[in-house]
Structure 1
Amino acid sequence: MEQPEEFGTNKKYNIVILTASHPYKVSGIVAFDLMQCLNQSGCNVKIVTSSRLEKKYENTITITGTLLGIYQRLKNRLKPKVQNEHLFDSNYYMDGIDEKKSTFKAKKILKKISFKPDAFIYLFPQFFLSTSDLHYLNKKTNAPILWYMMDMAPITGGCHYAWDCLGYTKECGHCPGIYSNNSKDKTNLNWLNKFDFIEKSNIIPIAASQWQFDQLKRSSLFINKPHYKIHLPINNDLFKPGNKSEARNQLGLPQDKQLIFFGAVSVKEIRKGYKELIESLIILKNQISEEQIKDIHLIIAGRNNEKMIKDLPFSHTFLGFLNYSNLALAFQAANVFVCPSIEDSGPMMINQSIMCGTPVASFEMGVAIDLVHNGVTGHRAKLRDCNDLASGLKNILEMKTAEKERMSLNCIELSQKILQPNIIAEKFREILSKNTY
């Protein structure tokens, strides 16, 4: 019997994307890219955000928090002035440590949207909704909650990055993020609360990389739930192969240099690998000739500070904070993108680089495991092994023109197989066809 048009993956799903981050800026833009991706596949999607937006955006709804939520956001913005910073290890990102305190009312969300949702997709949870709120939304609408992992927050009792801690595979407790030796500490209480609501709700976890998927499989919170993996959606109207010479011209970059591109972050943010990046670049400099040193130029997006300027061993250009269009140009202009992160669930810049046809040199973590293949799409070094990362950069830069072109084509071919928006949308539709009624 022939199925009606609305059956399964052809259905026009009504979807609400929930996010605490600004859906049009920095990493939070994944919400916008996901909305575009799903809308193009025939869905009807709205974004609901707790972030204060500077203007009105189409299909985007802002909700205000409770008095408690406003207080917690202010407290977080002012820390460590109003709390003892020694109670938290900032490397674990213990944002929103109290699971039982609601900072937003889920009822407000249902009042704000103009349709009955078939599904919710939950992204950045910082100081936003608790699992009890997700349970409420699920039970009131019968719509599944697809909890899309932007980091480890969905699967832990409080941290966003667990590092070597395996508490999330049990019931948390003894949390290094709060310097705890207590098995019944706040993270354990959070775990118990989250587990209770996850068990009695249709909450489905989705990892954005193999790295996350392996963490998800070990997660005790979602032990009784199906596990899925879908790569982050990327705007393919912007992040696509381009003319290297034209991109360099538009950004005012040298035409006759080998360009290494990276994103600059705070030198204090250990997980982003600033120390490892500088060490790798110094090793690279010591391995090549004076002529090669002069041939290398660094291009840097993001922060510019005195320490970074002092540390950089090659000539360089700071591009500042780039809008999306110029970020795509920077990838197109570069010979290689280097990602030195040592604890990261992404980063999304690896996806963007591959989609632009630009090889990546990175450590073995995050989405690099999915996208960075040695000698094919770049070089994936052993975690924290700066000699290995320097060697990978050297090999890519010393490739002959034909080899570089082949590697770029490999990146493009890989992106067309697994990163294009239509592929991402189809994977979401497959999950929805199995979990909506």
Structure 2
Amino acid sequence: MKIVHISTYHTFGGAAIAALRLHHALRSIGVKSSVLVQETERQEEGVQGVANSFIGKKLAFARFATERAYFVLHEKDKSVRFHFSPLWAGVDISKHPLVREADVIHLHWINFGFLSLYSLEQLFALGKPVVWTMHDMSTFTGGCHYSRECERYLSHCQHCPYLCRPSDNDLSFRVFEQKQKLFKNAPLTLVSPSQWLAGLAQRAALTKHLTSFAIPNPINTNVFKPSSAKKDLGLTPTKKWILFAGVNTQDPRKGFAYFKEATQLLSDRREEWGIVVFGKTEPEALADLGLEVKSLGSLPAHEVVNVYQAADVMVVPSLEDNYPNTVIEAMACGTPVVGFDSGGIAEQIEHLQTGYVAKLYSSEDLAKGIRFVLEDADYEQIAQKNLHVIYQRNRYETVAKQYLAVYKKLVTNN
């Protein structure tokens, strides 16, 4: 059986990383898996890019720029520019050899000028089983990646809060109408890493007629595993370190403001605790956090593992998220996680067993969760519980076998 995974990016972003890990997981159990991306970022067996030539790369960028320019005409403001995908520009990959040879086409995150609604139509027309792993809500909305508090996708998208001129017939309405026609008889099965998102897809007007269920993202437990690495990172070994991974202080959805309020409530532990962050951020954003801050900047993937291993607790204060890779990466290193009760995060963390699930929008409860892990919990027990959960739920073999069972059933019934 041959599987082709379709993903906009090779290694950039959580969705791309999850797709690539699934590809590796399937290969580890003998499945003939390949990945087709917009443009490869490195040479890797089984991964091919559509834009290989100089001209191809220019055309790929032109598709991205064209779609973003199109959305600029509709956007409410700059803050939502990359949070809405109309699937307006894309390339037809239906004749690509990897697609033609595949028994199952597996879509992942395909936005930003890689695939358009027309591209999807051409893929569906092949009549092959198509699995779509949803890494956000955009599959079943009129374009937004996360709906925030809007629930119009349950009936029909319109009057979209992301748009400058919301109306009965706005961009979200038109995209929704196009998707409705496209999905009506599509050979499509939906998968989400979280029960939360799978449940939304089962209720959404666009996808409630389709099969939708959850399979968690995989993690390589031979790479992400416990180790003591504080000295390697220049962290004071006598301190306990609170990790905020992939800092994004500009996106309100990531909840950095709540993290900042929570750490200010922990200032009484300034001598004993510190904060370690990695990722791009402005230095002023890290001021007034109440504790010493060690910023490691952008790190290559192999060094990120050391940070998880060195941290004593990781905080994920996202206000809306599907199934962050960072949570299972930390857990696989034995590091407990504190996060809000939002999206799929509450499914990843077992409250008081592997970490702490805080009340949504409560900086006080977020701080309470950090204190629980660092002061009150049996730390060794909670660390071991993390390793047990990851081994049972997220390791490569476990997840790959679940997907293989889906593929076999679809091919048999096709």
TM over 0.5: yes
Please give the residue correspondences for 1:167-182 in structure 2 after superposition, counting only pairs within 5 Å: 167-182=152-167
In 2, the alpha carbon distance for the partners of 1:208 and 1:184 equals: 33
**1:16/1:233 Cα in 2 relative to 1: closer, same or farther (>3 Å)?**
same
**1:264/1:233 Cα in 2 relative to 1: closer, same or farther (>3 Å)?**
closer
RMSD: 2.4
Query: What is the aligned counterpart of 1:256 among 238, 243, 247?
Result: 238
In 2, the alpha carbon distance for the partners of 1:284 and 1:270 equals: 22
Q: Does 1:128 align with 2:118?
A: no
Please give the residue correspondences for 1:312-391 in structure 2 after superposition, counting only pairs within 5 Å: 312-391=289-368
Question: 1:434 maps to which residue?
Answer: 409
In 2, the alpha carbon distance for the partners of 1:24 and 1:309 equals: 24
The amino acid of 1:279's aligned partner reads E
In 1, the alpha carbon distance for the partners of 2:13 and 2:178 equals: 32
In 2, the alpha carbon distance for the partners of 1:16 and 1:138 equals: 14
Query: What is the aligned counterpart of 1:417 among 375, 379, 392?
Result: 392
In 2, the alpha carbon distance for the partners of 1:67 and 1:59 equals: 23
The Cα shift of 1:86 comes to 5.2
Superimposed CA distance per residue, residues 10-45 of structure 1 (whole angstroms, 9 cap, x where no aligned partner)? xxx200010112336665222221110011121111
Superimposed CA distance per residue, residues 208-267 of structure 1 (whole angstroms, 9 cap, x where no aligned partner)? 112212222221111111111011122222112x222xx112222221111111124332
The amino acid of 2:399's aligned partner reads I
The amino acid of 1:46's aligned partner reads S
Q: Does 1:399 align with 2:376?
A: yes
**1:233/1:195 Cα in 2 relative to 1: closer, same or farther (>3 Å)?**
same
- 8 Å contact from structure 1 (residues 260, 335) kept in 2: yes
Question: 2:271 maps to which residue?
Answer: 294
> Bigger CA drift: 174-183 or 256-265?
174-183
**1:17/1:225 Cα in 2 relative to 1: closer, same or farther (>3 Å)?**
same
The amino acid of 1:265's aligned partner reads V
In 1, the alpha carbon distance for the partners of 2:201 and 2:5 equals: 21
Query: What is the aligned counterpart of 1:74 among 65, 78, 85?
Result: 65
The Cα shift of 1:282 comes to 0.8
When the two structures are superposed, what TM-score results if normalisation uses the length of structure 2? Answer: 0.91
The Cα shift of 1:326 comes to 1.6
Question: 1:219 maps to which residue?
Answer: 204
Question: 1:96 maps to which residue?
Answer: 85
Question: 1:281 maps to which residue?
Answer: 263
SS of aligned partner of 1:311: coil
The amino acid of 1:134's aligned partner reads L
In 1, the alpha carbon distance for the partners of 2:172 and 2:350 equals: 37
The amino acid of 1:233's aligned partner reads P
- 8 Å contact from structure 2 (residues 132, 188) kept in 1: yes
Question: 2:227 maps to which residue?
Answer: 243
Question: 2:213 maps to which residue?
Answer: 228
The Cα shift of 1:68 comes to 7.8
The Cα shift of 1:179 comes to 3.6
- 8 Å contact from structure 1 (residues 339, 350) kept in 2: yes
In 1, the alpha carbon distance for the partners of 2:117 and 2:9 equals: 18
Identical aligned pairs, as a percentage? Answer: 25
Question: 2:2 maps to which residue?
Answer: 14
The Cα shift of 1:367 comes to 2.8
Query: What is the aligned counterpart of 1:137 among 102, 123, 131?
Result: 123
Question: 2:29 maps to which residue?
Answer: 41
Question: 1:105 maps to which residue?
Answer: 92
- 8 Å contact from structure 2 (residues 74, 164) kept in 1: no
Superimposed CA distance per residue, residues 144-178 of structure 1 (whole angstroms, 9 cap, x where no aligned partner)? 11110111111111010100000111121111111
**1:180/1:430 Cα in 2 relative to 1: closer, same or farther (>3 Å)?**
farther
The Cα shift of 1:57 comes to 2.3
Aligned length: 407
Unpaired runs of 5+ residues, structure 2, are none
